[in-house]
Amino acid sequence: MGSVDKRYRVIISERAGVMLVQHARFLAQVNNQAADKLRIDVIEAAKSLQEFPERGSRLTDPALPANKYRKLLVDKRYLLIYQIKDNTVYIDYIEN
C-alpha cells in the first residue's frame, strides 16, 4: 500500500508576477545573473508549495486578517506572501 500524495495547485497572481519582474529588472541593472537566479529561485519556491504548502510561517500583522497569509523567504531577501484555500495556494505578493 502506497501513500497518496496530495499536490496543491499553485497560482501566482498577476500582481505578484509584476512584482517579480520589477525586482528582477532592478537586480539586472547591476547583475544579470542575480536577476536570473531570483526568477529561478522564486519559481522553485512556488513549486515546492505544491507538496508543502504549510512550510511557510504564518504572517502576523495587525493590518491583515488573522491566520490568512503565510510567508516564505527566498534568497534571504524576498518574501512570497501567500494563502491556502482548499487545494490551491495563491501567491499574492513578492516583497523585498
HEC readout, 21-37: HHHHHHHHCCCHHHHHH
List of E strands, 1-96: 9-12, 57-58, 70-74, 78-85, 88-95
**CA 57/CA 78 separation, integer angstroms:** 14
Q: Which domains does the chain have, with CATH numbers?
A: 9-95 (3.30.2310.20)
Report pLDDT digits (tens) over 75-85: 999 999 999 99
Report pLDDT digits (tens) over 45-70: 999 999 999 999 999 888 888 889 99
- In this prediction the pTM is 0.88
